[in-house]
Amino acid sequence: MTESVSALVWDHLPGILQAITTGLVLWGWWSLKRVFVTRSDFETRQAAVSARLDAIEDRQYSRTTALQQIDFKLDALPTSDEVRGLAISLKEMEGDLKGIRAQVEGLSHATARLERAVDMFTEYHMEKN
């Protein structure tokens, strides 16, 4: 009976080896399929990553544009030296205006005296007529 079992195994050895080899190939294929990604999965993932990258680039561009606008506005602002110069000029103008105010007040007194003289002259001539 041992001879019959070994003869039976020997007769079916190519089929058994083929089944084992096919099983090993299928197991290897299944393992490789789990390790490597398919082309369609890769393209789907690549499209999603590209869309996210484009969105990030758009946000970065809009923020860069906003920062450039702020930079242009800051460049248009006067410097501290210019503001200091303006403050000094305003103080000088304030002093000049005080002098002009004093002159105008003096002129208003002179004008008031002249008006009084003209009024008296007018009254005198009105009474004569």
Residue 129 DSSP code: -
Query: Has residue 28 been placed in a domain?
Result: no
Give the distance from CA 115 to its chain's centroid: 68
d(CA 98, CA 38): 88
Give the distance from CA 81 to its chain's centroid: 29
Residues 87 and 64 both lie in one domain: no
- CB distance 69 to 77 below 8 Å: no
Across residues 21-30, what is the average pLDDT?
93
pLDDT digits 0-9 by tens, 61-106: 999 999 999 999 998 899 999 999 999 999 999 999 999 999 999 8
pLDDT at res. 37:
79
- Structurally, the chain folds into a number of domains equal to 2
Residues 50 and 61 both lie in one domain: yes
pTM of the model: 0.42
Give the distance from CA 73 to its chain's centroid: 14
Across residues 39-68, what is the average pLDDT?
94
Structural domain harbouring 116: 79-129
